[in-house]
Amino acid sequence: MVATDKVFAGSVPEIYEQFLVPLIFEPYARDLAGRVAEAGPKHVLETAAGTGVLTRAMTSQLPATARIVATDLNPPMLAQAKAKQAGDSRIEWQQADALALPFQDQSFDVVACQFGAMFFPDKIQGYREACRVLRPGGRFCLNVWDKISENEFADVVTEVLADMFPHDPPRFMARTPHGYFDTDLIREQLGAAGFANIAVNALDHRSKAPSPRHPAVAYCQGTPLRNEIEARDPARLEEATNKATDAIARRFGSGAVDGHIRAIVITATRAS
Ligand SMILES: C[S@@+](CC[C@H](N)C(=O)[O-])C[C@H]1O[C@@H](n2cnc3c(N)ncnc32)[C@H](O)[C@@H]1O
C-alpha cells in the first residue's frame, strides 16, 4: 500500500457517497447488517465506517435499543456520514484508527467492518484490536473485495489508466481495494489475532448505473485513485474520467450499464 491509498479527503468523500455508494456498496451493507443483527447485539463498534452506508443499514435492521459507535480514520468521511444521520441518538461518531482503537477491552458485542480491512497496513494488528474490544464470544463481521478481474468496472478503469500513463500506471484499485482476497491468508490472520469459527463466503452482485459516466466518475474522482491521477498530472483528471467513460461505454453500452461485482464476506467469533 502507498501512503495516499488511505487518504479519503478533499472532493473524494462527497463523490464517493453520491456515485460509488449506490454503485457497489449498498447491497453488501444490507447483507453485513443482517449478519450483525443475527447476533442480537446491544453495543456495536463499526470501524472504517466511511460515509456511513453500513451504519444506515444497521440502524434499519437493529432494534431501537442497540447502540452503534461508528468510527473511521478520515474525519471528512465521517462528516458525510454524520450529515446523513444527524440527530440519530443511537449512533456515536468518533475518529479512530482501526489498528489502535481508543476503547476498553471487551466493550462491544459485535465489531463490523465493511470494505476496510484492505486498507489496514497490518491486518493482524487490525484484527487483534477488533478481538480485544469484543466480549468473549462476540462476533466480528467484515467483507473485502475479491480480485479485480471479478469486479468489472474497476478492472476496465484500471486498464484505461494503464494505457494513459504507460510508464507509471495508477494501480490503486488493483493494489489495495482488490488486493486482499486470499481466503486462506484471511483465515490464518484472523486465527492469529484470536478468532475462531471463521466462516468465509463469496457474494456476487450486479453493479448498476444510469450511464457509463457514473462508474467513471465514481472510480476516477470518488476514490484515492484520484490522488494517483492528480499526482501524475492534475490537469488530466477530466481526460482520465472521459477515457474511462468511453471504455465502459464500449464494453457495457452507452445507456444504463450493469457489471459483475464480487466480495468475500467473513464472520468470526472471539475465541475466549
Ligand atoms: C472503501 S472505504 C469503505 C467505507 C465504508 N465502510 C463503506 O462501505 O462505504 C474504506 C474506508 O477505510 C477507512 N480507513 C482506511 N484506513 C483506516 C484505518 N487504519 N482505520 C480506520 N479506517 C480506515 C477510509 O477512511 C475509508 O473510509
Answer yes or no: are the C-beta atoms of 217 and 15 closer than 8 Å. Answer: yes
Q: What is the dihedral of CA 100, 105, 111, 113, to 10 degrees?
A: 10
CATH of 3-270, one of 3.30.360.10, 1.10.760.10, 3.30.450.40, 3.40.50.150: 3.40.50.150
Answer yes or no: are the C-beta atoms of 238 and 163 closer than 8 Å. Answer: no
Ligand 1 mean position, distance from CA 3 (Å)? 14
pLDDT for position 3: 87
Ligand 1 mean position, distance from CA 255 (Å)? 31
pLDDT for position 272: 78
Ligand 1 mean position, distance from CA 101 (Å)? 14
- Phi, psi values for residue 121, rounded to 5°: -65, -25
Pocket of ligand 1 (CB under 6 A): 6, 8, 21, 25, 47-51, 53-54, 72-74, 77, 97-99, 114-116, 119-120
pLDDT for position 86: 87
How far apart (Å, rounded) are the C-alpha atoms in residues 185 and 162? 28
Below-50 pLDDT ranges, the chain: none
Residue among 30, 36, 69, 73 to mutate when testing ligand 1 (max atoms within 8 A of CB): 73
- Strands ordered across the beta sheet of 257-270: 91-95, 67-72, 43-47, 108-114, 134-145, 257-270, 195-209
Any alpha helices (H) in 72-224, and if so which ranges? 75-84, 123-133, 152-164, 172-175, 183-192, 213-221
How far apart (Å, rounded) are the C-alpha atoms in residues 256 and 179? 28
Angle between helices 152-164 and 225-232 (to 10 degrees): 10
Ligand 1 mean position, distance from CA 21 (Å)? 13
Contacts of 110 (CB under 8 A, 6+ apart): 36, 39, 41, 43, 44, 45, 134, 138, 139, 140, 141
pLDDT for position 87: 87
Residue among 6, 95, 133, 203 to mutate when testing ligand 1 (max atoms within 8 A of CB): 6
Ligand 1 mean position, distance from CA 262 (Å)? 18
Helix (H) or strand (E) holding 18: none
Residue with cell 440502524: 59
Beta bridge partners of 69: 45, 92
Burial class of residue 63 in the structure, from the number of CB atoms within 10 Å of its CB (0-12 exposed, 13-18 middle, 19+ buried):
exposed
pLDDT for position 44: 98
Angle between helices 183-192 and 123-133 (to 10 degrees): 50
Ligand 1 mean position, distance from CA 113 (Å)? 8
How far apart (Å, rounded) are the C-alpha atoms in residues 103 and 113? 16
Ligand 1 mean position, distance from CA 200 (Å)? 21
Closest CA to 70 of 32, 98, 40, 31: 98
- The residue whose C-alpha atom lies closest to atom 5 belonging to ligand 1 is 50
Contacts of 173 (CB under 8 A, 6+ apart): 148, 154, 155, 157, 158, 219, 223, 225
How far apart (Å, rounded) are the C-alpha atoms in residues 21 and 18? 7
- The residue whose C-alpha atom lies closest to atom 4 belonging to ligand 1 is 50
- The residue whose C-alpha atom lies closest to atom 8 belonging to ligand 1 is 114
pLDDT for position 139: 98
How far apart (Å, rounded) are the C-alpha atoms in residues 207 and 201? 19
